[in-house]
Amino acid sequence: MTEHTAPKHTPDLPTLSAYLDGELDHHAEQRVATHLVACPLCAARFAELQALSADFKALPMASLGFDLAGVIEGRLAAAPRSATARPERRWFSQWPLAIGAAASIAAGVFMGSALVAGRAAEVPRMAALRVFDIMPPGSLCIGLESCYRKESTQ
């Protein structure tokens, strides 16, 4: 069976790994131990984890033989400051940004006031309640009967 078709067991791989490392609380450790006795599939997987852990512990400890931090600090100290330092900015180099921001704000205020000022006299205050109509403004109509309410002649 593959990993995707295997039945789902209570202790998954991270739980078995935590059990091997002794990171579970007492109740969870008892549940996993009971399950490992009853389930040969999980017991085999736990044995594989134990073998893998033993193999990792058997690997030799690798060391450089010198302090790498000292080498890096020496190289950083020897690096030219002009390449790493941020260039100084003058106030006049910010003018294009300031002018662009001011122009966009002014254009937005002008366009917004032109839209509101032209329609303020035409639109009555009750127009705000139009959102409760059958079809709110801006909706797409399927047919004429869905967009227009039939007036009763009583």
pLDDT at residue 37, as a whole number: 92
Q: Count Cα neighbours of 131 within 13 Å in the Cβ-side half-sphere.
A: 3
How high is the pLDDT of residue 117? Answer: 67
What type of residue sits at position 131?
V
Task: Determine the straight-line distance between the first and last CA of the chain, rounded to whole angstroms.
Answer: 76
Res 112: pLDDT: 82
Of the two residues 140 and 15, the one the predictor is more confident about is: 15
The pLDDT value recorded for residue 1 is 45
What is the pTM for the complete model shown?
A: 0.38
CB atoms within 10 A of CB 42: 20
Q: What is the DSSP letter of 138?
A: T
Considering just the CA atoms, what is the radius of gyration of the chain in Å?
Answer: 37
Residues 6+ positions from 90 with CB-CB distance below 8 Å: none
What pLDDT does 10 receive?
Answer: 66
At CA 100, angle to CA 99 and CA 103, rounded to 5?
85
Q: How confident is the model at residue 133 (pLDDT cuts 50, 70, 90)?
A: low
Alpha-carbon dihedral sign for residues 44, 49, 55, 57: negative
pLDDT digits (tens, 9 = 90+) for 44-72: 999 999 999 999 889 888 877 778 888 88
How do the domains of the chain map onto residue ranges? 13-56
Q: Quote the pLDDT of residue 113.
A: 80
77-98 as b/e: b if 16+ CB within 10 A: eeeeeeeeeeeeeeeeeeeeee
- pLDDT score of 129: 60
